[in-house]
Chain A
């Protein structure tokens, strides 16, 4: 342990952030969780402690089941879709291509636009009219000879359609992550593999892809938490309709329409917990992995290496 004089200034420098996070994140989370454990089901009652009753009761509501199912469908389609598309785009661009800058700009720009702005277009595009009344994408599909469907108004797979605007918005970002990952693979490594007799495909299979695993994981985490909290997109495209209900929208309705703070807090807690279930292990894992590779002797600042080397080492271990 180093002397306090060396680390104290650093601690002081981050103190404002610690206080802010303490109040705004953990204070609010605590407030929320405490509220979720009361029976404050309207604005005026005091709210008695009821333990986890609200967390159990909510499973009796058909709407809750629906919104959980919707989230699962949305998450699977959105996360897989954005990962695959982002990966594909990065893969196609990896070796450099004419107009790469333009392509990158086109794929990235949806990230720049809010759904308050594009919701109106997506509503048009995903209009459910078919046949003679087809407009938007259905009209386009009609011209192209593709099958038409109800988009987000489809009773079973509506949420898969709802994932399209989200994929549109985030796959460019995933592309950028993967492209950075691809290009972070040192050429010498590829060359070495080729010398060892690997085919071009073998180079990808055994050298490049393993090194992309950390990038894939962080993309997965970022996409996953966006997906579990999704709100703006749904409200912008469909409003508060049951057919596209998700927990975040349900919570909004519970708090502001049903005037049921405890129920809203319960749903919020479930969202936080669902995010936490896969984020906390990831955070702990990544901090630990880093500690093992980056700082062999704890407390020392020495022996730290560049990120690509570090990733490589992680890969070799795993």
Chain B
């Protein structure tokens, strides 16, 4: 194995408490301590460079049915994509509804080495894994979506004990090869199938009678009981609705101190004040996050321009049908699991609402004090394509730049935002936390998102520049599992990424009930439902590795 020394770079490793000019050594696919007598090492001069662990995106819609609907819906979205490369690459296209090949190449070019698809429907899990398997270079994993599925709602309506729900959640994680559990508009996607158009935290489901609050509680409890490292990943009720901050605050309180990850919280931080009945709730949400140490968030920042929104929240997406740009949108009910809605969208800085959404996202970034509980996302592609991350990083790091962008906004939105008063500028160490160290910790990736000895040699080498957008857009080098995959923006290798999963134990008695449910409600045989390890590795992930992360079942 080749011993490599990245020499004299500024190593920023918040997980190890390091921010200093140092040599970073790796051998094969692992980072190692500096050898006592370094012999025959490849030495790469990194003077003037910043070294960070590979980026980890814990919420990016990179694979699965609704993303593929978005791609298919929008041939006009797909600009030709010339990926700079020193090896033959596959041809691909893309802007917002990024194809898998483009997503893998582009993430690697930005120094990202792992991506997690947050909304894998159990009945669509095979497709999601096949798509992730066609996403080159980056490691991947997915969260199984529960909470509007008929099996869980039936269990709750029947007053099933928590232990049975735990078994069902554990079975779902294993059968779908998932890394975590996500709930989207708890119960609301199912309620929409019964023609409910709004569904708040304490509304009773029209058929099953259960409330979103109860669904959140049992799922958060199940995730905690099973010892799944990633907290329940929550897309709260009332996405995008003016005044939804009350629901979001109530959602945080509902789990009664259990770990909770609130995703794309920007879309859930709206007040209903002012002339237009729409205002920023960022201060209240940030105050609650600062106070409640069981809560982590990612932002779902919006950026101005064209994108496409794709969400499992069919109820919310149906409300947005009229906003589709271009004027076409797709809605779907899905197989006792959930649903989806795909609405192309253009965020405009001269729109009051869009301008305020942009400001709210940044206010949240700047008001939440603990960077370890906040993750940089645009909810790709819902707020913006992930390719806008370097621009977003500059907005966080550079107050003057931020102010200049702010000055272009719709004037009434400017009048309603705190942003000019927020003087905070993210340090590089804080950027390293919100883009790699924090997501690694929140996912339970013990040997990623860090640069200590023993960690996987997923390393991004950035040329330190005052213009943080330029700095983070094109790393000088990127190593994935110790292999140089990018040099000066050019792809050098396109290895197959690994799949990350968790697999807590469950009592197999639940499978008898599931088999009966498949007979009465589903249109596929229970016998063929679960994705086996061989199928996952060989078929879905083209021979890539499978990492099963431990669960501390308590």
- Same complex for A and B? Answer no
B interface residues (Cβ-Cβ under 8 A, vs A): none
Residues of A at the B interface (CB closer than 8 Å) are none
